[in-house]
A and B are shown apart, each in its own frame.
Chain A
Amino acid sequence: MAGSALKRLMAEYKQLTLNPPEGIIAGPVDEENFFEWEALIMGPQDTCFEGGVFPARLTFPSDYPLSPPKMKFTCEIFHPNIYADGRVCISILHAPGDDPMGYETSAERWSPVQSVEKILLSVVSMLSEPNDESAANVDAAKTWRDDRKGFEEIARVTVRKSLGL
């Protein structure tokens, strides 16, 4: 129900505003619709995404803490666990029922105790440590595995682009 979801989102928004984790900013795109958020994620340090600021959209279902939100990067980003259209593929964003890759335990999946903050932190750690075993972007996974230097160069370009430079 939208009511409890709204309250919870409000609480999360408050927490993220007052106690923002390093390098993460998130909030509703427009207060008229609290179920559509934008997040800015800073590329983690000492990785090839260092220094970039990557915008992403989070779309919450109306039964929010029970079902996971969807997350999609709105910028170009070349990463094994991000689909070419920007959708993020990490296990905690998958509802316990569905298992697109076929080998996640339900312990890694979505549960209502997760939160936007945890999702974003997982995304940050995903950026620093791509998981090429469950690749969403096969090209990226291949490049990451076989041509690390090339991958890093591409990442550097996306960083530069994400900053609008």
Chain B
Amino acid sequence: MPAILLERLPLPSLHTYISFSVLFLALATFYAHQTVTAKLSFDPNTQLEEELGLPPELTNLTLPYGEDEHFYNMLYIMRIETWCIWTLVNSCYCVLILLGKLIQNIVFGELRVSEQQHLKDKFWNFVFYKFIFIFGVMNVQSMDEVVLWIAWFSGLGFLHLLTQLSKDRFEYLSFSPATPRSAHIKLLSLLVTILILCTVILSGCVWVGMNVSLTIFAFLAAESVLLLLRCLYVMVRYVIQLYDMSLEGVWEGRAIFVYYTELVFELIDLAVNFGHHLHMLLYGNIFLSMASLVICMQLRFLFYEFQRRLKRHKNYLRVVKDMESKFPMATQENLEQNADDCAICWERMESARKLPCGHLFHNSCLRSWLEQDTSCPTCRTTLSETNEREDPRPRQPGAPNGGEVIAPQPNQGTTNHFFHFDGSRYVSWLPSFSVEVTHTNLLPGQQAHATQTSQLDNMAREVQVVFPNIPQSVIMEDLRITRSIDLTIDNILEGRVTVPPVSLTSGGHQRNDSSGGTSNSSSSSEGATSQPLSLPPPTLPPAPSSAIPSSQLFSAAPLESQSQPQLPSSHQDLQFGELPSKSVTQQAAARSSEFSQSAGLPLTMTGGRFSKSATERMSMLDQRKKAMIEQARRNFELKQERQLSTESASAVVNPRISSEDNGASLGRLETQTEEIPSNIAQESSVRGRDAADSEDRVRRRALLLEATQRRLEGASGRNSSGLSS
């Protein structure tokens, strides 16, 4: 590839290049100046010309301008002399590069790696194709023409690169919520400038078309139209993006807008490009050359792109049609019943579509999801029965990846057959899809009116075992929608199930529940700020025990952590259990106050606030991370200490065996991982020996520990219950 080869060339640094360019330009100017003065000061008819050392072609040269127009004479000389022309061209490039650098400094600042890479690729690609165009298609011979074409493409390429850079930068900026306004303004004004330049160029093309030739006009116009389109596209996208970001809430029409902009621009771009290349192919009479091969390849690529785009659009239209015909818009009543936000974008729903399974989503969110999958995002009910019919190819039963998977869902009493066909593994243009067939007796439309089957009863009972305080009717209600115990439990855990307030005993609870009611950001977060001990959303719903005053809350904590064993329970628990060395009660008490402070720190930071400023958010996040690691380290060290002491305690019971055990296991470990420092092994065995005479001490310490622990529980039970839940 030319690009790879050229990348490896030792390119000089910008400074050297500029200084050399300036030097050459100075030389050329000096030469022209000398020639002109020499020419003017000597009579062309004298014999002295050979002695002056002027080149022979200059002897016959007559200067077109008079003596007063020294500068024009110089330019004339420079134009005639070949090396001077190249020097001038080079200086133009130098100026262009400097201009580019300037723009980069003003608008973009430091370029990111991916932007640099894109720029490089685009540049060499451009150079390659334009080279083919000039020498392959146009078959330019004369120097002047070459220079003109080079000038044209340099300017065009420059603008192309700037557009590409703007596009990359725009995409990058759209990844961040906290871009300063000035960055947007700079980028947009650059785009506007490019746009204006494009129109200027285009009108220049029209002039050329009227005065020179229509073919040339077509070539030039196609190029500039492409540039114009790309620039305009970035701008439109940018404006849409900015408008959307400034908008609170959802802009329902946004997705459609973006989609059609993209579609229209892409199609026009491809069409123009295709026409341009076709024109090249037909114009040049170059059917049997390398250039034609390159152009044909390009044509083929463009054609497939076009086709692919149209196919995608067809799919899109089908999805939209399907959706509109099958899923009605939710009524106002539905919306009111459903207090939740749209589960896809987490924004409020002013209008929504309702799926047969009863779940609501934004129109645009649902559509973009249905473009890639045909099941309900929430409950995974298959929505499209037409999917199988639409596949023109028969499924390949024996294919390794076209297999059928039967996934029985034990609690549901239904079987799901899952088919997956990955066509792209065979031929690149084959579609990949997966179909899930759910065998249920209930038709989707009737689900809502399902009678209370005994199966449902059983499921409800099972759920109620886990959540005794939630009325059965509520569980049944949810089960009818989800038809799965797991999903219902999930729903309850995340507060999606609204429990009538009757079942709640204390005010604290209602608060918690209301904060869990919307599993999403805003309302729950406010609850958390005012109430540092609020439960995080995936906790259990208010169990009756936790309604009792604080001292008993702590005893409820282990219960909760039992039911959710995968979550680490409170660090505080750990710490209370792990004060082995400082067994003096006073010390422990002092430590407890110290600890409640240190525990309070991450608490206020974690349950704290969500700053509006990006830098503050970053620093808060960093702090939280550090605090977590710090705490984990402390816990780890404490635990290790305790482990050593318990090891020594067990060593008392049977010192020989346990120490042997230790040695053996640690020895194995060392050979296996070579990571455990050997001093631990030594330490523990030493301790094992010491332990024999400190048996009593250990026991006493353990008793003391327990006592202090109990006291501490009383003191800060409230705090720890908050943590442990």
Contact = CB atoms under 8 A, between A and B. Distances in A.
A96 B375 contact: yes
Interface string B352-371: 00000000000001001100
B344 interface: yes
A66 interface: yes
Interface string B541-583: 0000000000000000000010001111100000000000000
Contacts of A95: 372
A85 interface: no
Given A17-B621, A34-B176, A52 B632 contact: yes
B625 A18 contact: no
B617 A31 contact: yes
B346 A19 contact: no
Given A27-B621, A96-B434, A8 B346 contact: yes
B378 interface: yes
Which of A51, A98, A163 has most chain B Cβ within 10 Å?
A: A51
B567 A22 contact: yes
B345 interface: yes
Contact of A19 (B344, B377, B536): B536
Which of A10, A42, A164 has most chain B Cβ within 10 Å?
A: A42
Contacts of B375: 96, 106, 111
B175 A15 contact: no
A31 B176 contact: yes
B172 interface: yes
Contacts of B258: 1
Give the contact-size bracket for chain A: 35 or more
A79 B568 CA distance: 18
A22 B610 contact: no
Contact of B380 (A1, A35, A106, A153): A106
A97 B372 contact: yes
Nearest to A22: B567
A34 to B, nearest CB: 5
A14 B525 contact: yes
Give the contact-size bracket for chain B: 35 or more
A72 to B, nearest CB: 17
Main secondary structure, interface of A, reads mixed
Interface stretch (B41-49, B320-328, B671-679): B671-679
B621 A25 contact: yes
Interface in B140-181: 171-172, 174-178
A46 interface: yes
Contacts of A8: 344-346
Nearest to A67: B372
Contact of A18 (B345, B346, B607, B672): B607
Interface string A24-43: 01011011111100101011
A105 B628 contact: no
A32 B346 contact: no
A84 interface: no
B636 A163 contact: yes
B521 A15 contact: yes
B416 interface: yes
B617 A27 contact: yes
7 contacts: A2-B175, A3-B241, A17-B606, A53-B628, A53-B632, A163-B633, A164-B629
Given A17-B617, A153-B672, 14 more contacts: A2-B171, A13-B610, A18-B524, A20-B607, A31-B178, A31-B617, A34-B175, A40-B625, A45-B569, A102-B401, A106-B436, A107-B416, A129-B566, A153-B665
- Per CB-CB distance, the 9 closest pairs between chain A and chain B, nearest first, are A18-B525, A105-B407, A45-B568, A31-B614, A125-B566, A113-B343, A112-B344, A27-B621, A2-B174
